[in-house]
Amino acid sequence: MKILVAPIIILLLLLPEISFGQNKEISKILSQREASNQALRAFDEVLNASFSTEDALITTGAGTLISGKKELIKYIQESIGPRMYWIRTPDEVLVNPKTMLAWETGTWKGYVEGSDEAVVGGKYSAQWTKASGTWLIQSQLFVTLEN
């Protein structure tokens, strides 16, 4: 019985430390997401792309697949119609401390420049990686579901 009690006590002592570590990583991801949202709102495509890996994959709300940072910048800059920005609002972020990968999911809304009323929106998911030492978006999937 004493053999089983010792590992359980050690685990209970480590749980707050593990949880704090994950909360710290989640806070870093949320901070990156907020900075990315601000870059989009300022129409700074280059700054926004800095939150992604070089080979990031993005599937737009309409189903267009974009491969890489350079293509993302080009896609945004060459969009036809009024300038728009997108705000992603996370509902959940989960971190795998062993692989330093994270999952984010939430809602997104698209706004026409100069307006605070969303004209499009839906759900999104993102995969983050900390392979470079900084949390960066490796892939994002957007699905348009509402106006």
- Closest by CA to 43, choosing from 81, 84, 87, is 84
Residue 78 has a pLDDT of: 87
Residue 124 has a pLDDT of: 98
pTM of the entire predicted model: 0.81
Mean pLDDT per segment of 10 residues, for the chain of length 147 residues? 54 52 89 96 92 96 93 87 93 94 97 94 98 95 89
- Half-sphere exposure of 143 toward its Cβ, with a 13 Å CA cutoff? 7
* E-state strands within 1-147: 52-59, 65-67, 84-96, 101-112, 118-129, 136-146
Residue 79 has a pLDDT of: 84
Residue 22 has a pLDDT of: 77
- Return d(Cα 118, Cα 30) in angstroms, integer: 22
DSSP 26: H
Task: Give the tens place of pLDDT for each residue, 77-93.
Answer: 888 889 999 999 999 99
Residue 1 has a pLDDT of: 46
Residue 123 has a pLDDT of: 97
| Distance between first and last Cα of the chain | 61
